[in-house]
Amino acid sequence: MRVPLSWLREYVDLPAGETGRDVAARLVRAGLEVETVEQLGGDLKGPLVVGEVLSIEELSGFKKPIRHCFVNVGDANGTGEPQEIVCGATNFQVGDKVVVVLPGAVLPGPFPIAARQTYGHTSAGMICSARELGMGDDHNGILVLESHLEPGTDAIELLQLVDEVLDIAVTPDRGYCLSMRGVAREAAAAYGLPLADPALLDVPPANAFGYPVKVADPAGCDRFVARTVTGVDPAAKSPIWLQRRLQKSGIRPVSLTVDITNYVMLEVGQPLHAYDRGRVQGTILVRRAEEGETLTTLDGIKRKLSAEDLLICDDSGPIGLAGVMGGATTEIIDPVLDPETGEVTGSTEVVIEAAHFDPISVARTAKRHKLPSEASKRFERGVDPEAARAAAQRAVDLLVLIAAGTAEAGVTDIAAPRPMRTIAIGADLPDRVAGTEYGRETVTRRLQEIGCSVVGADVLEVTPPSWRPDLTDPYDLAEEVIRLEGYDNVPARMPNVPPGRGLTEAQRFHRRVGIALAGAGYVEINAYPFIGEAAFDGLGLEKDDERRRTVKLVNPLNDEEPALRTTLLPGLLGALRRNVGRGNTDLALFETGTVFLPKAELTVAPRLSVERRPTEQELAELNAALPDQPRRVAVALAGERQPSGWWGKGVPSGWADAVEAARTVARAANLELTVRQAQRAPWHPGRCAELLVDGRVVGHAGELHPRVVKALHLPERTSAMEIDLDLLLADGVRKVSGPAVSAYPVATQDVALIVGSEVPAAEVEAALREGAGALLESIRLFDVFTGEQAGEGKKSLAYSLRFRAADRTLTADEASAARESAVAAAAERTGAVLRGA
């Protein structure tokens, strides 16, 4: 809602020096969101006056038409002589009243004006267009004024070029502030000044000879006022003041009748519709549409109607979407000038509709037909049903005043009975909500200020005003009191919070995962979870891969990515590629986040009551309709893990780093990760590890498949890991029992074993560990090699075994026996043979 300050002052006698910013600050503290305060004509400086065109000489020989004019500007130029002006526009004639800017003036821009030589003549000033005056962008030609104006009149004042406009974003609960009347009411309350209510008009009572109207759906339309004006002069134009107010409010002037309906809507908040009476056939009927009916709206679009749409009809059928947009067949005809006769034709008899429609019905119709209009915006948020008669009267008055029309005596006013809304509120409720003491007198006064009638003592019986449909319960009223008293005046206090449990084990674990990975050199990213088939194709997933089963969006931002991720890898690899593209080549990235896995059985979430807590059964149904959303962590690496430098050669990142990242994550929960050779897209079939905890597969890691690397334009040998944190932590963080540390000497024994090259090192180590028994303190693989020395199809694994007893120094024999037992177990389980044996 755009509110010109000059207009606002008509209803509230604001202090003279008060600027737009001052008023905005007061309104903001009362809860109106003033987004901007626009300064109109801020850098404008006169003289800017009304001029009368005395003569026009068309100059030829130039690329465009140029006019050499003399203009009477009265005494404004100090001499009273006609002003010589060269002008490039042609939409004016001798005798027209125009706006002339004289040398020394400054137009908005700023654009200083001086006399100059041009096209062989002196041009001492300019004849102005609306755009040059900052009156709106849509008028390129010269602004031609009403003919009765006196030359020399100050045009800045006349055209109200200097003003301030408050742009207010009105929240849905304050529909009444979509009008000058409503904003003025708030301003009056904020300044403690009286309000001159523009809806307080003398209105003749309803009678039987108004335009015939029938309301078949009183629930959808509980008020319908119709007034008729005849003898409207189609040549009558909107006066400057009216046009200017509309322009400043952001509405383009069109024609007098339409301008008046818009003006009254801005003034009192009641959307009006004007019909050409000659085009309406018979009784106006308000009813619901029949399925399949159509209506061509004012914008020329033929719309298929739904049975829920509320319609305005006449004998011919639908003529308007109630509260949303009128139809083309009965609209006011734009005045047309016949150039031969000079006569203007157009609508001369006008029926004004001022009705009140059900907000939900209007909202649904506007949404269904994608037709948000100034009218529907107001009806949705609640229009004052009691303002309908005054609004219609105001429009009639303006048509009579400006267009020389005659108001017909007939007044149609159909009103469904409206129940009185009375709310009982404890006089201390505002105190209890705010945590301060206002007292009953303040509460009563504030409620009266916003238009409520209030009776009672400890319990107040409050009847809200007709323009506040949002006030429905005691808390709504408490809010009004607290708001008007000012949030700044509410004290600040701390609640008495009982001791908390701190972070949960899972929350602490999630933090440790991030800290551990960042500590290991990984940089965290947050990718969008939107994904498409192309990402799965890039990963080389089979057609029936379960990861292709996704949660899909109805309205994705991008049609190529209509689903939610089932793996973190596409987003992570995308970030990797973006970094590489920007010249960051050695990369280790990680992301933690949820993936979205559709349930096996898809259901719809029920819409539950809000009048009570849902039952456990209902909640279970609600949750059953949601996908599983486990938390995952993933890493991606490319380039060098350790750079080369003066210390020596660097180390390229690879599959082992990806697997180690998984171990890092598992260690954050004190869990031991086991690793198994596996094959799974998008990983390299020979370089993919399945990651397990307690026998559960929790994720995969390794080098990416070369085809994936190529398809996704990734650096060669890009590696990745993805692990499910919820699965990993299914049994919680492992509780460590403190190891007994022996102070006896260690006995170290090395063994080199030859095994088949297909035997996993992890199995050999497990066998050694088991065979070595309780004396084994630790085991470490320190060398792996294949080749001639190991033998065809074999590999050599060299382990260092450390033995130690808790209670004595081990003898060489004991250590050797343990080592032999370890080797025997490895031989038995993996076919390992001692090297050199």
Interface with another protein in residues 468-507 (CB under 8 A)? 473, 475-476, 478-479, 482-483, 487-488, 490-504, 507
Stretch that binds another protein, among 144-152, 259-267, 415-423, 635-643 (CB under 8 A): 635-643
Q: Which of 380, 408, 561, 722 binds another protein (CB under 8 A)?
A: 380
Q: Which is nearer to another protein, 636 or 767 (CB)?
A: 636
Stretch that binds another protein, among 105-113, 337-345, 518-526, 731-739 (CB under 8 A): 518-526
Asked whether position 525 contacts another protein by CB under 8 A, the answer is: yes
Q: Shortest distance, CB of residue 496 to another protein, whole angstroms?
A: 8
Q: Shortest distance, CB of residue 646 to another protein, whole angstroms?
A: 6
The residues with which 722 forms a beta bridge, in sequence order, are: 634, 700
Phi, psi of 452 (to 5 degrees): -80, 150
The Cα–Cα gap between 233 and 404 comes to 6
The Cα–Cα gap between 515 and 92 comes to 76
String of contacts with another protein for each residue 390-429, x by CB under 8 A: ----------------------------------------
Asked whether position 554 contacts another protein by CB under 8 A, the answer is: yes
Contact positions with another protein (CB under 8 A) in 32-71: 33
Stretch that binds another protein, among 254-262, 395-403, 525-533, 739-747 (CB under 8 A): 525-533
Contact positions with another protein (CB under 8 A) in 576-595: 578-579, 582, 584, 586-589, 593-594
Asked whether position 28 contacts another protein by CB under 8 A, the answer is: yes
Q: Which of 224, 467, 522, 536 binds another protein (CB under 8 A)?
A: 522
Asked whether position 641 contacts another protein by CB under 8 A, the answer is: yes
Asked whether position 603 contacts another protein by CB under 8 A, the answer is: yes
Indicate the Cα dihedral angle 171, 174, 180, 182, nearest 10°: -150
Q: Which is nearer to another protein, 30 or 697 (CB)?
A: 30
Indicate the Cα dihedral angle 299, 302, 303, 307, nearest 10°: 120
Contact positions with another protein (CB under 8 A) in 697-716: none
Please, how many CA atoms are within 13 Å of residue 772, restricted to the half-sphere of its CB?
A: 25
Contact positions with another protein (CB under 8 A) in 424-463: 432-436
The Cα–Cα gap between 380 and 366 comes to 9
Size of the site for another protein (CB under 8 A): 109
Q: Which is nearer to another protein, 64 or 582 (CB)?
A: 582
Q: Shortest distance, CB of residue 439 to another protein, whole angstroms?
A: 16
Q: Which is nearer to another protein, 245 or 641 (CB)?
A: 641
Asked whether position 642 contacts another protein by CB under 8 A, the answer is: yes
Q: C-alpha 483: how far from its chain's center?
A: 26
Q: Which is nearer to another protein, 367 or 418 (CB)?
A: 367
Asked whether position 610 contacts another protein by CB under 8 A, the answer is: yes
Q: Shortest distance, CB of residue 781 to another protein, whole angstroms?
A: 23
The DSSP H or E segment spanning 36 is strand 33-40
The Cα–Cα gap between 118 and 98 comes to 21
Q: Shortest distance, CB of residue 47 to another protein, whole angstroms?
A: 25
Say if CB 307 and CB 289 are below 8 A apart.
Answer: yes
Kindly report the number of other CB atoms within 10 A of residue 146's CB atom: 11
Q: Shortest distance, CB of residue 415 to another protein, whole angstroms?
A: 24
Q: Which of 611, 758, 807, 813 binds another protein (CB under 8 A)?
A: 611
Asked whether position 29 contacts another protein by CB under 8 A, the answer is: yes
Asked whether position 174 contacts another protein by CB under 8 A, the answer is: yes
Contact positions with another protein (CB under 8 A) in 776-835: none
Q: Which of 152, 253, 320, 529 binds another protein (CB under 8 A)?
A: 529
The Cα–Cα gap between 516 and 665 comes to 7
Tokens of 832: 């390992």
Question: Which residues neighbour 754 within 8 Å (Cβ) at sequence distance 6 or greater?
Answer: 790, 791, 794, 795, 796, 832, 833, 834, 835
Tokens of 641: 């893990």
Report the amino acid identity of residue 378. Answer: R
Asked whether position 629 contacts another protein by CB under 8 A, the answer is: yes
Stretch that binds another protein, among 172-180, 319-327, 788-796, 824-832 (CB under 8 A): 172-180
Asked whether position 608 contacts another protein by CB under 8 A, the answer is: yes
The Cα–Cα gap between 688 and 666 comes to 18
- Characterise 630 by phi-psi region: left (phi > 0), alpha (psi -120 to 50), beta (else): beta
The DSSP H or E segment spanning 397 is helix 388-403
Burial of 533 (0-12, 13-18, 19+ CB in 10 A): middle
SS3 320: strand
Task: Give the DSSP letter string of 212-247.
Answer: -EEES-TTTEEEEEEEEEE---TT----HHHHHHHH
The Cα–Cα gap between 341 and 171 comes to 51
For 458, 482, 706, the CA distances from 439, given in Å and listed in that order, are 10, 12, 77
Say if CB 724 and CB 696 are below 8 A apart.
Answer: no
Q: Which is nearer to another protein, 169 or 216 (CB)?
A: 169
Q: Which of 528, 744, 782, 785 binds another protein (CB under 8 A)?
A: 528
Q: Which is nearer to another protein, 97 or 468 (CB)?
A: 468
Phi, psi of 412 (to 5 degrees): -95, 130
- State the residue for tokens 């003006």: 263
Contact positions with another protein (CB under 8 A) in 300-359: 359
Q: Which is nearer to another protein, 318 or 593 (CB)?
A: 593
Asked whether position 511 contacts another protein by CB under 8 A, the answer is: yes
Stretch that binds another protein, among 261-269, 615-623, 688-696, 760-768 (CB under 8 A): 615-623
